[in-house]
Amino acid sequence: NERPRIFRLSEDRAVINRLGFNNRGLDAFADHLGARAHRKGVVGANVGANKDSADRAADYVLGMGRVWQHAAYVTANISSPNTPGLRGLQERGALEDLLGRMREARGMLEAAHGARPLFLKVAPDLDEMAVRDIAELALTYSLDALIVSNTTLQRPQHLTSDNREEQGGLSGQPLFQISTHVLRLFAQALEGRLPLIGVGGVENGLTALAKFKAGASAVQLYSALVYQGPSLVARILDELDGLLAAEGVDSVSDIIGAEVRA
């Protein structure tokens, strides 16, 4: 998408982006990913579809094929709000077609290069029926986790930044309640049968703890790193130690889904 594509909402500890998967193309991406193969660490590849594609499911299959051998895990992003119509892939019929074709491709890729976890990244702007459909299909097609969630198109009334009306996906602190609500819905629908990765507004130990209690097995950070820097990860871990002790538990695993089970 055209520049400008990213806007800080500093007063709201938030970001709006309308990136639209801007990049130099799949080959350049896969080459860069392959060039770091000797380095340690977990690096996942996030694949999407071109906005002008006649067959978007084919784009995902092609993307999977190019990054599979270089990635620790692969995420199919069907929830970016910045590629027109992409979120339509979350509808049951379209999602069945996509996941069926990805499962077929996955079998061949695993035979050639070995197994990789395959995740699906969903939007926070889903109703309960859509959550149930996605959860059912994620199990049927043997996905390894759901990432809940991408950015939101909602604009909460409490936003104060001058950039609050910019088009694009909203992330950061204002996304926390919205994304945690849909995370809880997925946890209720799945009943522990599939791991969930909580994303959206995680900026300290308390918000990370809330994601775990709502059903997440892990969390991801994005916008908070803009405002607090990479040392935030260590601070969250330190804060979680104290919070878990206050809860009377020894491990995050002891509180995963506590709110859903209650």
State the catalytic residues.
Answer: 80
Distance CA 196, CA 216 (A): 5
Three-class SS state of 260 = helix
Distance CA 124, CA 121 (A): 10
Least Cα distance to 195 among 254, 119, 90 occurs for 119
DSSP classification of residue 87: G
Distance CA 133, CA 189 (A): 9
Least Cα distance to 204 among 230, 252, 158, 237 occurs for 237
Q: Do 75 and 147 touch, CB atoms closer than 8 A?
A: yes
